[in-house]
Amino acid sequence: MKNREYLIYISRFFSGFAGWLVFLAVALMIKEQYGSNHVPLAFVWQAIPPLLLSNWLARKTPEHKMKTVFIWSQVLGIVALFLLAVPIGLIGIYTFIFLNSLIQTVSNPILISMAMKTVDKDRWHKVHIRLSSVQATTLALAPIFGGWFSMAFGFGQLLVLTAFCGLVGIAFIYLAIPQFDEPAPKGKQEHLKWFQQWQPLKIDSWHLRRGFALWTLFLAIGAFLNTVEFPVFETMGLSRSEIGQMLGSWGVGNLLAFFAATRVKNIFPASVASVVFAAALALFLAQISLQAALFAFAVGGFINSYLAGSLRNYISENTPTHSRSLDVWAAVNQRLGLVNLSVYALGGLALPYAGETVMGLPMVAFALIVAGSLFLQRPPDARS
């Protein structure tokens, strides 16, 4: 079982690395051919599929076929990748962005659901932290490595590298995840009408609703940070090398959370971690010095993985037994689309007038709200 767990981590690393290399490739293509003004629109466009289709796609996926659906979705993503190797125009690029986001909308909830069905329940918290750590580490490292690789070897070779990473991710998930058995029918089966398949997930657990609310705030913190980080870098006058150091510092912090997952969850309550997270974000916004910003990003990266894993574990622990975990994680993924669409649109409108410091204050406030909620009521271990 433990061997399967590490195979899941390896698969997550390579598939996540490939995913961010894809995003880098698209961003470079748009910037070089059509100007940087189109890049924010790409951010908004890729938020549409999880917002509109996440619940419907999950309800169309039988849990015993999750592994098959996941693998074929990744294969489709690799095949679609080579559309970028031929001239397809701006409309073609946006079509690719939509298709790639659609594939992620299918695969992301499936991956978490499969991982939780594969590992023992007493390891859920640790696995959630480590999956969050791997995901955030690839986010920090892939743009740095991909940017260097594309300059050294060219755009075409970047696509080949991305496809290779995707294939490695598929191979390891094939080895890690068992084939799930088809569940036995439980009496009369209820078939949802077509319009019911599009409806939001009905959440009849107070703790699960609370988990969704906290997760939404946490996603907003990340979206606001994405909105203000490069304007802060520009105001601080950081060079390309120093920006690489900042992103690397965030990645190192997330990587440390992977190795400290067992210890930190026992000695460092999530409520305290949220306060430290708020302090690290505030230190970054203060723009005191490069050294202070590097420290803030290292601490912030560590806490980011720990909090993400803890909040995901809270949702897992409080998913009612009569609910499909895949439906729950699809609803979680839908909130990602909603938050990103809202915050990036707000950032595009308000950032030129408010400035990066004022625009970053909500993420500090949200971290403190999460801390207060976790402090007032600790997550229960039992399912509701």
pLDDT digits (tens, 9 = 90+) for 228-274: 998 899 899 988 788 888 888 998 999 898 888 767 766 678 889 99
> Residue 194: what pLDDT?
47
Structure tokens at 69: 């659906």
Give the torsion through C-alpha atoms of 7, 10, 12, 18, to 10 deg.
Answer: -140
CB atoms inside a 10 Å sphere around CB 379: 18
> Residue 70: what pLDDT?
94
Residue 18 CA neighbour count, 13 Å, CB half: 27
> Residue 176: what pLDDT?
93
Structure tokens at 65: 């076929």
CATH superfamily label, 2-180+201-376: MFS general substrate transporter like domains (1.20.1250.20)
DSSP string, 231-252: HHHHHHT--HHHHHHHHHHHHH
Instruction: Tell me how many degrees the CA angle 111-117-121 measures, rounded to the nearest 5.
Output: 120
Name the stretches of the chain with pLDDT < 70: 1-2, 36-40, 181-203, 262, 265-267, 377-384
Q: Which amino acid is at 186?
A: K
Q: Where is 254: in which H helix or E strand?
A: helix 240-259
Q: In Å, what is the CA distance from 120 to each residue of 4, 9, 24, 69, 157?
A: 11, 15, 36, 23, 40
**Letter string b/e over residues 28-61, b meaning 16 or more CB atoms within 10 A of that residue's CB:** bbbeeeeeeebeeebbebbbbbbbebbbbbbbeb
Instruction: Tell me how many degrees the CA angle 47-144-340 measures, rounded to the nearest 5.
Output: 15
> Residue 60: what pLDDT?
86
8 Å CB contact between 80 and 100: yes
Across the chain, which distance is largest between two alpha carbons, in Å?
Answer: 66
Q: Which amino acid is at 21?
A: L
Structure tokens at 113: 């659901």
Q: Which of 304, 281, 277 is nearest to 292 (CA)?
A: 281
> Residue 324: what pLDDT?
84
* Inter-residue long-range contacts of 77-85, CB under 8 Å, 24+ positions, other chains counted: 77/22, 77/103, 77/166, 78/163, 78/166, 78/167, 81/22, 81/159, 81/162, 81/163, 81/166, 82/159, 82/163, 84/25, 84/26, 84/29, 84/159, 85/156, 85/159
At 384, is the secondary structure helix, strand, or coil? Answer: coil
At 1, is the secondary structure helix, strand, or coil? Answer: coil
8 Å CB contact between 12 and 169: yes
188: DSSP letter: S
Residue 346 CA to its chain's centroid (Å): 20
Can you give the C-alpha Rg of the chain in angstroms?
A: 20
Q: How far apart are CA 308 and CA 305, in angstroms?
A: 5
8 Å CB contact between 82 and 298: no
> Residue 189: what pLDDT?
46
> Residue 289: what pLDDT?
94
Sequence spans of domains, the chain: 2-180+201-376
8 Å CB contact between 188 and 54: no
Entry pTM = 0.85
Structure tokens at 331: 């609803």
